[in-house]
Amino acid sequence: MRVSSVGYLIKQGASSVWKNRMMSFASFCILLVSLMLVGFSVLAGLNMSAIVSGIEDKNEIVVILYDGISEEQTDSLLVQLNSLSNVSEVKFYSREEAWASIVEDMSEEEKSFMQYAENDNPLPDTYRVKVSDLELMEITTSQIKTFGGVESVQSPTSFADALVSIRNIVALISSAVILALIIVCLVIISNTTRTSVHARRKEINIMKYVGATNTFIRVPFFIEGMIIGIVAAAGALLLTRFAYNELYSVLNDQLSLINVIGTKSLYSFDSIALPVTVCYLGAGTFIGALGTTISTGKYLKV
């Protein structure tokens, strides 16, 4: 095929979208809905994982130190804690800070009643330790118990095990749903493009009989499918953005109870806009162009 023919074929492909507007509109709708279904499934799975991760971040191991431990022992314990491979962060929480935190939540009457205990603080110094992998929390807890200066260790190991199970289940279900939707959408899109091309089989056969090459016939269909795919992807992206922002606003601003358990970890659309846009446009263009091009192959064998 000559280079001079490329411009002509592109124009033919673009004009075919309007000439066959009914079938183009059907392909557009199917592709738009399919992209939105898969896109929302991926975003839902992504945010479910973020919520679970947000809850995981609230878990920590509380290391209670012996009363009267020296500053040298406290510093040595800090070094030991930071040396553990599963420890991501260590914070010292003094008895004075703990007492101030308790007093802050008291009423005025309770503060007056507890003034006598201000100089006889019964609370211990502690280290608050965050772990990198919840699955290793129990092992990390056992390691910390062997360190000198540690009176006791408190860790939500049962809750951590439950969260790990929830995270794995969410990942498995999300992957299964997304895979199923992708397969269903590809089948539907394939049937739609096949129907669209079938309706124009005579046009393809005539071009083939007068000597047109396979590439010459396929290129306009490729351009047509690509245009439909891009427009469908743009429409799906706009609808997804609108719906996602509305849902994000409700969950993140109005449901304060849910915010407590982790929806502050939800992704805002602006934070993921670039990869979502690239995926939508890439998927729409690829599926639209490839679908129509492959569907023409059956009618090129004359």
Q: What is the pLDDT of residues 112-141, one digit of tens each?
A: 555 555 556 667 788 888 888 777 888 888
What is the pTM assigned to this prediction? 0.62
- 70 Cβ neighbours under 8 A, 6+ residues apart: none
**In angstroms, rounded to a whole number, what is the distance separating the alpha carbons of residues 91 and 211?**
78
The mean pLDDT value for 28-48 works out to: 83
pLDDT > 70: what percent of the chain? 68
The per-residue pLDDT for 278 is 92
Backbone dihedral angles phi then psi of residue 134, each to the nearest 5 degrees: -65, -30
The structure tokens listed for 192 are 């739609």
- One DSSP character per residue, the chain reads --THHHHHHHHHHHHHHHHTHHHHHHHHHHHHHHHHHHHHHHHHHHHHHHHHHHHHHT--EEEEEPTT--HHHHHHHHHHHHHSTTEEEEEEE-HHHHHHHHHHTS-HHHHHHGGGGTTS--PPPEEEEEES-GGGHHHHHHHHHTSTTEEEEE--HHHHHHHHHHHHHHHHHHHHHHHHHHHHHHHHHHHHHHHHHHTTHHHHHHHHHTT--HHHHHHHHHHHHHHHHHHHHHHHHHHHHHHHHHHHHIIIII-HHHHHTTGGGSPPHHHHHHHHHHHHHHHHHHHHHHHHHHHHGGGG--
Check: CB of residue 114 under 8 Å from CB of residue 103.
yes
| pLDDT number for residue 114 | 58
pLDDT digits (tens, 9 = 90+) for 142-164: 888 888 888 888 877 776 677 67
pLDDT value of position 257: 47
Query: 1 pLDDT exceeds 60?
Result: no
Q: What percent of the chain has pLDDT over 90?
A: 4
CATH numbers and ranges of domains, the chain: 4-56+162-300 (no CATH), 60-155 (3.30.70.3040)
Q: Does position 111 have pLDDT exceeding 60, yes or no? A: no
pLDDT tens per residue, range 212-256:
676 777 777 778 778 888 888 899 899 999 988 888 877 766 555
Q: Mean per-residue pLDDT for 27-46?
A: 83
Q: How far from the centroid of its chain's Cα atoms is residue 270's Cα?
A: 13
Of the listed ranges 136-145, 195-204, 214-223, 275-284, the one predicted with least confidence:
195-204
